[in-house]
Structure 1
């Protein structure tokens, strides 16, 4: 899979030769050096951009654009400020044609699922940032997507809130069985939350290796996760160094 951007006469290759297989029902995390194309992979799978060559398949069907079967959660939660938390979740249910009392009941269930059972009548400005992200997660789940895509959803949060949201994500994943692709720049988060961690190379990005680090949610001190963490860190260190060398070479012409 290759994506080129910029002037057609002098395109820049963002991704080249990407081969990534996300297993049905797994929580896979994706890490890599800055500028390697992590968010571009997110945009490709979400259907927001199309590859110059290659294709993205979900259950054997090519991705040609955005669709309700792919839920999206990004750093900017995008909640409607004029709607309560419950009404924001109901937006996803409205899109599916759920009406009346069933919509209200389902919205309350989804808020309970993400740990916000008592926050349904709060407006976004009344909620801490971490809780707004959980409302965004519940709203995405309201579409009942088969695949959940998360692009740095915990960025900008304090460490305690990041850990809490990560725990909630794993709990939701275990309960729903959704296929989840989580893009993060946080190594510890990637190892703790993913069963497998895909490590990208420096730009133009490709998948260098996929490391199995054990069941999601286990403490990094657990032996399998600790071994996986060291392996992922070693791979990342090499790619960060390669990215730095390329920048220096480019700066000196």
Structure 2
């Protein structure tokens, strides 16, 4: 009799996580306005920077222009697209923090704690649901970028690397947003907590080369995590060498994912102990 009991206990986390994932996917389908809003923001930024600022900023790219292209709006689309792709992920994680805060403030988490379900499944369901939302949002934004002139030179292997890399970045930032959602006292606070993640790409190599920035700002832009992430994306998409950027970016992803997971787990267990 001990063997079936042990086996059933081992399967609870997977089964309960799948149940929580279905719950979060149904919420996304029931309230599509949130996904539309999250996709809309990077699309608006893409159109703004390409059609309003692209001609001037593209003319000033200089050595940052991908090989075989000249300056101007066409070159700037290829330059700025990786930053917009990253901003799509930061928009999604902002929605994740809001969703977590809603569950925390509406009392559904307290109800889950009284049920016979694996505790880890509650947060895992949110993370997996947000990953699926991120994949959908990224596909839409990349499609829009292609429509406005983005012309990546990536081959099949490069695209597979881009997909895996974006999943790693999304996974890390989602765990961080799960913690930010739990630490927020209200939904309004949760919507503002991830705001630095949206602003950091502007102080990076995402929109202009860091060489054009003042010395102090350039130092910050060079050493903040989003610059190596964007440089890795740009190199993979344009089939250019990425150098050490990929390893630095993956190290940042691992650190953020681990920190976000441990912080989220501690917050969730602390609430459970009350």
Q: Same fold (TM over 0.5)?
A: no
Q: With structure 1 as the length reference, what TM-score do the two structures score?
A: 0.29
Bigger Rg, structure 1 or 2: 2
Higher strand share: 1
Higher helix share: 2
